[in-house]
């Protein structure tokens, strides 16, 4: 506990490090704003549903509870991991922002309508309010946990935890027909690219995180 206190005390006493965290928060808010308008655009431009070799052979399963509650639990876990060492914050925030900025761009490029038999979700749920249902490409439930796994690749337990959560997220969105299979499988490749770009753009932040 004393080590945790000392880490936080040293970190929050450095104005330069605080500034980097603030920049990360600002970028994250901007990415959420971009995601909102990309959702609006995707709804207006969405076309008809298409067939999918995987979804066509898998019945719809009611995974709405896992879809929303699982996302909430995941975010709590990420927050706890970040709290363990504040040096992780700036890269986590900035790479997350870049992830959702890229996803916003892909959402605006792809206008396929949602699967015809997609599970009808609880629209009052917070996480569902962030999604229009037409924001398909690519799957955030798959991609974002994978991004966090890549970020903590040198921490075996964290890597295994978040990679497992990524696979679980992929299974959930497929079972509920929330995403086409291409949205899920492509998420791993696109997310890996985003991670590499993040390491390049935010090199100092990444080096600080790796040192934890």
- Which pTM was predicted? 0.92
pLDDT band at 46 (very low <50, low <70, confident <90, very high): confident
**Burial zone of 68 (CB within 10 Å; 0-12 exposed, 13-18 middle, 19+ buried):** middle
| CB of 104 closer than 8 Å to CB of 190 | no
For 163, the token pair is 């990679």
Cβ neighbors of 101 (< 8 A, separation 6 or more) are: 30, 31, 34
Give pLDDT tens digits for 82-135.
Answer: 999 999 999 999 999 999 999 999 998 887 888 887 766 554 455 555 565 667
């Amino acid at each position: 506990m004393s080590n945790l206190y000392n880490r936080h005390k040293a970190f929050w006493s450095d104005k330069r490090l605080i500034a980097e965290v603030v920049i990360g928060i600002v970028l994250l808010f901007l990415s959420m704003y971009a995601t909102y308008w990309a959702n609006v655009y995707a709804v207006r431009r969405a076309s008809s549903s298409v067939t999918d070799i995987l979804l066509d052979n898998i019945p719809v399963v009611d995974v709405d509870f896992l879809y929303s509650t699982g996302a909430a639990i995941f975010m709590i876990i990420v927050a706890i991991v970040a709290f363990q060492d504040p040096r992780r914050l700036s890269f986590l925030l900035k790479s997350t922002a870049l992830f959702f900025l890229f996803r916003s761009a892909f959402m605006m490029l792809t206008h396929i309508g949602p699967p015809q038999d997609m599970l009808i979700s609880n629209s009052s749920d917070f996480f569902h309010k962030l999604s229009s249902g037409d924001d398909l490409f690519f799957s955030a439930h798959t991609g974002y946990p994978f991004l966090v796994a890549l970020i903590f690749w040198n921490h075996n337990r964290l890597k295994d935890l978040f990679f497992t959560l990524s696979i679980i997220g992929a299974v959930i969105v497929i079972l509920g027909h929330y995403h086409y299979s291409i949205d899920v499988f492509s998420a791993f490749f696109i997310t890996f690219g985003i991670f590499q770009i993040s390491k390049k753009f935010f090199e100092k932040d990444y080096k600080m995180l790796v040192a934890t």
